[in-house]
Structure 1
Amino acid sequence: MPANPKYLTQSNWQRFAKITAAIVGGYFVSVSFHLALASWFNRVNIMITMAFSGFILWVVLMIIAFLAKSALKIWGLYLLLIFVFSLLIYLGQTYNPAV
């Protein structure tokens, strides 16, 4: 049974933005989150864990991107998260340098 057309995104721009937010934005949020963890905790353990949890987080972020009403809001949220995690990476490398 096909989806009801009234629930589908009508605008091609919105559809493109949601797809790119899901694939590209979700990937960058997932990687920046794990790198932020790695800058504060044991790098080797976090990077090994990222091989599995990174894909799970990426899929969750993809689902969230397609559930959102506005592609602009989801891109804004993902860019904000990337900025926060990048700040945590910077602070982690500053205050917790690798030995």
Structure 2
Amino acid sequence: MPANKKYLTQSPWQRFAKITAAIIGGLVVAVMFHLALASWFDHVNIIITSTFTAFILWAILMVVAFLAKNGWKIWGLYLLVSATLGLVYYFGIQILPIV
């Protein structure tokens, strides 16, 4: 049974935004989350654990991107979260430098 057309995204730009936000944006957020954690805690344990948890987080973020109504808002959200995690990473490196 095919999907109901009223629930599918009509605009090709929205479809492009959702697909790229899911693949690229979700990956960037997942990696930045683990980098931010590694800058504040024991980086060896975080990096080893991130081989599993980054994939799980990425899959969750992909689902969230496709559930959203507007792909550009998801891109904005993912960029905002990535920038925030980048600041956390930056200040973590400044306060607790890795020796």
* TM-score of the pair, normalised by structure 2: 0.99
Letter of the 2:52 partner, please give it: F
1:37 partner letter: L
Q: CA deviation at 1:31?
A: 0.1
Counterpart of 2:6 in 1: which secondary structure?
helix
The structural deviation recorded for 1:5 is 0.4
Q: Does 1:95 align with 2:98?
A: no
Matched, 1:66 2:59: no
Structural mapping, 1:8-87, within 5 Å: 8-87=8-87
**CA RMSD in angstroms, aligned pairs only:** 0.4
For residues 84 and 3 of structure 2, the distance between their equivalents in structure 1, rounded to whole angstroms, comes to 37
Distance, in Å, in 1 between the alignment partners of 2:44 and 2:2 is 46
Q: Which amino acid aligns with 2:50?
A: M
- Which residue number in structure 1 is paired with residue 2 of structure 2? 2
How many equivalent residue pairs?
99
1:11-48 Cα shifts (integer Å, max 9, x gaps): 00000010000000000000000000000000000000
Gaps of 5+ in 1: none
Normalising by structure 1, we get a TM-score of 0.99
CA distance in 2, matches of 1:3, 1:31: 33
Aligned partners of 2:2, 2:42: CA distance in 1, in Å? 48
Structure 2: how far apart are the matches of 1:72 and 1:11? Answer: 12
